[in-house]
A and B are shown apart, each in its own frame.
Chain A
Amino acid sequence: MGHLSRPSDDGRAGSIPRALRPDASLLRRRALVLALVGAALVLLLAPAGALADFISPESGGSPNADKIDTLYKIVFFIGVAIFLLVEGLLITSIIRFRARRRGPEPVQVHGNTPLEIGWTIGAAVLVLVIAGITFAFLGPIRHAPNTTVSNLSASEGVQFASAPQVSNPTSKKALHINVTGMQYIWRFDYIDAKRLTENRPVYSYFRMVVPTDTTVIAKINAADVIHSWWIPKLGGKADGVPGYNNYTWFKISKPGLYKGQCAELCGEGHADMRAQVLALPPDQYRAWIETQRNELLASQKALAAQRKAGIGQ
């Protein structure tokens, strides 16, 4: 362009002529845009390991949690595109259209109907696309797969199915566990385990024990105030509302301990109302049910003995 040979118009020798300076600002702008895009790409393409929770919800315990994670990422990427577009336009305007002495007079336009109709339709199409994607994902998130691990599941009696994150929660071939929130602990009733224990109830607090590779349908209730059942790696939360039944499900393939905590303010002990789900291979699960039943029986007997001895009266 030969700009070095041109006389500079602001009197300083060797400096870039004023007329050519927009090029420099263009370069700066390009560098800025590149840096922004680069940062966004690093964030988006980061390995699923270390940064997974940084940019998307927890997953990895149950198929519904994984599907929610994927759905989140799709909507998030669309959001990032919108974000880059808007912030790009904003930053460009701030840099390029700053008032300058001897700058051009701003054009006094009042609007542009085709353009405005265009971005209205564009925005509408975009949200329709997101809605379509959501409905496509809804099936796999809500449909708990039937499982046939012998001796574990039993068909439940008729229940009032009000509000499910699970389609047809009561007619599923699955392991049903009743979850009850109370200030400030969770209680788990293993209603399907009765056939393993001659119809005697089995229950536990704080830690739920489940078999792996089995669909577990949790019926969520609350005894006093509203609580919310949530184990992030096992899918979404379900509020336990007194007087209502809520349902959620999970199916764990990897044995291990999954942690969560109550997600609805329930009083001063809310932060301490934690919950765990321990996934064991099916045979170990059966063994645990028996141990738990025996322990409950033993403690009931001990309590009866205490009563006879007059302790605690």
Chain B
Amino acid sequence: MSTSEYVGQRRPVTALPRPEIVLHGVRDRPRGWLEWLTTTDHKKIGILYIYATFIFFLIGGVEALMMRLQLAVPENTLLAPKAYNAVMTMHGTTMVFLFVVPVLAGFGNYLVPLMIGARDMAFPRLNALSFWLLLFGGIVFYVSIFFHPPEAGWTMYTPLSEEAFSATGGVDAWIFLIHLTGLSSLLGAINFVATIHNMRARGMGWARMPLFIWTILIYSYLLILALPAVAAAVTMLLADRHLDTGFFNPANGGDPMLWQHLFWFFGHPEVYIMILPSFGIISEVVPVFARKPIFGYKAIAASTAAIAFLGMLVWAHHMFATPMPAVVLSFFMLSSFAIGVPTGIKIFNWLATMWRGSIVFKTPMYFACGFIAQFVIGGISGVILAVFPVDWQLHDTYFVVAHFHYVLFGGSIFGLFAGLYYWFPKITGRMMSEGLGKASFWLMFIGFNTTFLIQHSLGMSGMPRRIYTYYPNGDWAAWNLVSTIGSFILGIGVLLTVLNVLLSLKNGKRAGNDPWKANTLEWFVPSPPPENNFDVVPRIRSAEPMKDIRRDVAAAGTPAGSVYQPVAPGT
């Protein structure tokens, strides 16, 4: 039989190879806490991530309040210098490595398969490993408080973090935290990339992917590119400390500047790792509550990629005050400016989405508006700091502290809270209290701005960051007190949301499949979704599949409830 006989000939359908599933046996699924310990379900892992990281968030918040209490009055003696430095180091490390980065992985874990119409993540066991590496990373770091916590700041600049100046094991605990959480994030990122590339529903081309998925994909690529640099750097630091190598130690012929380059080569992409998925959340929440499609879908997706690319090229703007030639300073100023363009595009796209919409003000939309209002301030102060002669004055002062809190708290965390209020009904099947939610928003909004707006002025009047105390100097005492009062208002606001979560878990109104009339596929399935997610995956025809389905159903005259996948009997 020559092959030419087959040209143009269609094989009969029945001849298609059929996958065969052979069941080797049925194991009883563990119940109770053992089920959570052994689960490989992306939804359960996502919930574990969110719970664990929120506990770290609360611990980091208590550390922040301890610092604000110490600085409330000049020459305070509440915290000793070493204790203050330890609390400050743990606050930064906790918020970056144990809260913002992994909580985004938690939301990603829960939502990515649901939003793209997949059964689970590509590698479910790897996914479980990611979570447990994160948790153990946090634990090895936090047990150091029973011995000697690290005191050299979350940036661990050498030579201060070398053995000669930080002899205790705190820095080593920090290094192991970076190794474990880094491995966790790296494996998680590979998992996201594999899942998003390969497991999207039929018809979901690149231009129909939800914008949150775009940001999780680019977040994952950034993690894969940036994490190896810091993994190598902390390994070299470990060798410097215990094997007498001389990578960073000038006493052994090493170079302290090398640490800063390696750290910030990771550290600046890390900033975008922390903000991009929040951009994604805002890009999902704003169109749903404005009852309008997202304005400029392609521009938002493309600007996310542009921010990530440029974000790899700006690291030395953290080092403007170090000895570097003027031409290098100029390059990093210009590359930092360039990031302002795609970021500006996003902000105007969100505003244009709201413009002429019919905006429904539920709590997620409150947090989304707070995000835009505050992130703009962080963006503008970022451009100011990129002007390197100006940075010579403002670098390492409270102006910088204010700037990155406007980006990370006013931006990332407000975005996260928008996401929490938006997806809580999907995750738990219950609505959160609107009253408590809005009260929480206003307290957080007022508290946040009271805490951090004044810190710009503190920095400009000469207060460096990371000082455990200060002498009365001009208005420093009054401004610091204002900041401390604001931080407690902020803390109460956060606690109201915690309270809201705890109350709504039991007493919240039933949410149904789609309480917000949303656009993306996760709202097709019941809340909470069944273990297999989808009984049937709808074919995707646009970036807003739920809107298409609702329109079709309305045209066919079927009752509204039949839009959604039915709740399985017995659940």
Interfacial residues, chain A to chain B (CB-CB below 8 A): 53-58, 65, 67-68, 71-72, 75-76, 79, 82-83, 86-87, 89-90, 93-94, 97-100, 103-112, 115-116, 119-120, 123-124, 126-128, 130-131, 134-135, 137-138, 141-142, 162-165, 167, 183, 224-226, 228, 230, 232, 235-239, 241-246, 260-271
Contact = CB atoms under 8 A, between A and B. Distances in A.
Contact of B344 (A107, A123, A237): A123
B460 A54 contact: yes
Nearest to A81: B380
A79 B456 CA distance: 14
Contacts of A260: 462
Main secondary structure of the interface of A (DSSP, over half): mixed
Nearest to B155: A265
A92 to B, nearest CB: 8
A263 B457 CA distance: 16
B383 interface: yes
A71 B290 CA distance: 40
Contacts of B466: 265, 270
B82 A106 contact: no
Given A99-B360, A163-B325, 13 more contacts: A71-B387, A86-B372, A93-B355, A97-B357, A119-B344, A226-B159, A237-B392, A238-B392, A241-B256, A243-B250, A245-B323, A264-B321, A268-B151
B218 to A, nearest CB: 19
Contacts of B464: 228, 230, 261-263
Contacts of B470: 271
Contacts of B387: 71-72, 75, 130, 134
A270 to B, nearest CB: 6
B467 A271 contact: yes
B334 interface: yes
B349 interface: yes
Contacts of B293: 108-110
Given A261-B464, A265-B160, A246 B323 contact: yes
B373 interface: yes
Given A109-B293, A237-B395, A242-B159, A271 B81 contact: yes
A135 B82 CA distance: 42
Contact of B160 (A56, A99, A225): A225
Those 9 A-B pairs whose CB atoms lie nearest each other, nearest first: A236-B392, A163-B323, A271-B467, A53-B461, A79-B380, A127-B337, A93-B354, A268-B81, A123-B344
Interface residues of B, number: 85
Given A83-B377, A265-B153, A76 B295 contact: no
Interface centre among A99, A105, A110 (most CB of B within 10 A): A110
A127 B361 contact: no
Contacts of B467: 261, 270-271
B224 interface: no
Contacts of A83: 376-377, 380
Interface centre among B164, B393, B462, B466 (most CB of A within 10 A): B393
Interface string B117-144: 0000000000000000000000000000
Contacts of B297: 110-111
Given A58-B462, A232-B462, A269-B81, A141 B159 contact: no
Nearest to B473: A259
A226 B159 CA distance: 7
Contacts of A269: 81
A71 B352 CA distance: 32
A52 B334 CA distance: 28
Contacts of A236: 321, 389, 391-393, 395
Contacts, number: 262
B393 A127 contact: no
Contacts of A267: 85, 151, 160, 165
A103 B461 contact: no
B322 A239 contact: yes
Nearest to B454: A54
Nearest to B257: A241
A265 B393 contact: no
Name which of A104, A245, A260, A263 has the most chain B CB atoms within 10 A of its CB: A263
Contacts of B323: 162-164, 238-239, 241, 244-246
A263 to B, nearest CB: 4
A53 B356 CA distance: 41
A232 to B, nearest CB: 4
Contacts of A237: 321, 392-393, 395-396
B208 interface: no
A142 B157 contact: no
A246 to B, nearest CB: 4
A264 B358 contact: no
B474 interface: yes
13 contacts: A57-B390, A57-B460, A58-B460, A97-B358, A98-B359, A99-B291, A119-B344, A120-B341, A127-B383, A135-B330, A245-B323, A267-B165, A270-B468
Given A97-B357, A232-B393, A268-B81, A127 B460 contact: no
Contact of B296 (A116, A130, A268): A116
